[in-house]
């Protein structure tokens, strides 16, 4: 029987939580629903990303991810013993004795090893201080459809971070320059959750690493990206948003779609209305604003709006778009026709 020494239950939980986003929800390849204990790491893989967290064992095996995660999350003792016996992963404490089926899959293990081998000559570079915040905010403006190609990604180019879904464009200045790359927007939340501090880009993969040695790897997307520079030079009518708009943001946030948290903002004569409607109901909030022009309507990600109004309360309006801008943060979004 091969085994490890007793390990901290909390450290095992942390390792599993870090790699869990790499488990495919659809499991188009059966092994994507499994954790790999590689001997040096716990690894997950779903054909788009791979996450590896340092965790030494004397055995190598695949175990069903959700089953192991559920068991470990319910263990109350401070330590746990992991061992392999008769092709089973044994999880033991003073009160628990679980034996989980394991699988060996050379093909998927090979794919995971290819990712690890890609790191053999890694020359890590420090990420900009505001990298995590910047890609998170830009991700709200990227297309949610992967069929959109590079528009489903956040584009990093030098010290600029940009994203667009052809309706709105987010543009953020990074605190330092980095290699050009595309980061799939749908994976950014999971990436930011590991709090990466360094990166390494090869021809095939982009790797991000945190201070604990956890490595989040995603395929290196290739392609072109539109030049949106012209849209940020617009000049129009400036309007000061209400000082109590934050109350409306907080209220509408209760009912927004958590995946695509969009709110409807309408500025009309002396009134600014923010509202949202969903299966759970509707909320709207009105506030006074100094404005006497024709009504304007636009949609905006409420989390981006919450962040940007901490920097500026000014919006700039033209006949077709609205721009919110502060030091380092910019958003340009299309205006909508009034609904009947």
CATH of the domain at 112: 3.10.150.10
The residue out of 87, 117, 147 marking a domain boundary is 117
Structural contact between residues 139 and 165, judged by C-beta atoms closer than 8 angstroms: no
Tell me which H or E stretch contains 51.
strand 49-54
Average pLDDT score over the chain: 89
How many structural domains comprise the chain? 3
Is 97 part of a structural domain of the chain? Answer: yes
Q: Judge if 214 and 255 occupy the same domain.
A: no
Structural contact between residues 287 and 305, judged by C-beta atoms closer than 8 angstroms: no
Show the domain range for 136: 125-229
Radius of gyration of the chain (CA): 24
Q: Which of 133-142, 150-159, 324-333 has the highest mean pLDDT?
A: 150-159
Q: Judge if 16 and 102 occupy the same domain.
A: yes
If pLDDT is split at 50, 70 and 90, which confidence band does 25 have?
Answer: low
The residue out of 214, 229, 244 marking a domain boundary is 229
Q: Which residues pair with 67 in a beta bridge?
A: none
Read off the pLDDT of each residue in 219-229 and give the average, rounded to a whole number.
91
Calpha distance 333→326 (Å, rounded): 15
Q: Judge if 11 and 58 occupy the same domain.
A: yes
Structural contact between residues 316 and 237, judged by C-beta atoms closer than 8 angstroms: yes
Q: Poorest-confidence range of 22-26, 79-83, 316-320?
A: 22-26
Is 177 part of a structural domain of the chain? Answer: yes
Q: Which residues pair with 335 in a beta bridge?
A: 298
The residue out of 190, 208, 229 marking a domain boundary is 229
pLDDT tens track for 249-291: 999 999 988 777 889 999 999 999 999 998 889 999 999 999 8
pLDDT tens track for 144-189: 888 899 999 999 999 999 999 988 999 999 999 999 999 999 999 9
């Amino acid at each position: 029987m091969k085994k490890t020494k007793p390990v901290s239950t909390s450290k095992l939980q942390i390792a599993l939580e870090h790699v869990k986003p790499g488990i495919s929800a659809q499991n188009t390849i059966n092994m994507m629903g499994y954790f790999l204990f590689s001997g040096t790491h716990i690894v997950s893989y779903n054909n788009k990303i791979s996450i590896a967290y340092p965790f030494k064992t004397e055995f190598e095996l695949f175990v069903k991810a959700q089953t192991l995660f559920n068991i470990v999350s319910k263990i109350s003792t401070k330590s746990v013993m992991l061992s392999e016996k008769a092709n089973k992963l044994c999880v033991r404490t003073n009160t628990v004795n679980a034996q989980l089926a394991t699988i060996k899959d050379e093909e998927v293990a090979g794919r995971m090893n290819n990712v690890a081998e890609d790191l053999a000559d890694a020359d890590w570079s420090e990420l900009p201080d505001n990298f995590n915040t910047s890609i998170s905010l830009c991700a709200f403006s990227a297309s949610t459809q992967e069929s959109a190609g590079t528009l489903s990604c956040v584009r990093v180019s030098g010290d600029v971070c940009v994203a667009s879904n052809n309706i709105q464009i987010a543009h953020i200045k990074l605190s330092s320059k980095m290699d050009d790359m595309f980061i799939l927007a749908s994976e950014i939340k999971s990436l930011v959750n590991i709090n990466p501090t360094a990166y390494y880009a090869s021809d095939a993969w982009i790797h991000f690493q945190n201070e604990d040695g956890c490595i989040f790897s995603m395929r290196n997307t290739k392609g072109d990206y539109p030049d949106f520079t012209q849209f940020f030079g617009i000049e129009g009518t400036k309007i000061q948003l209400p000082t109590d708009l934050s109350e409306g943001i907080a209220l509408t946030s209760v009912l927004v779609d958590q995946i695509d948290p969009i709110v409807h903002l309408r500025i009309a004569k002396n009134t600014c209305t923010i509202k949202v409607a969903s299966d759970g109901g509707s909320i709207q909030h009105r506030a006074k604003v100094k404005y006497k022009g024709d009504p304007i309507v636009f949609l905006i990600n409420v989390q981006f709006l919450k962040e940007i109004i901490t920097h500026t309360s000014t919006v700039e309006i033209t006949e077709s778009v609205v721009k919110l801008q502060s030091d380092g943060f910019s958003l340009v979004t299309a205006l909508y026709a009034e609904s009947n």
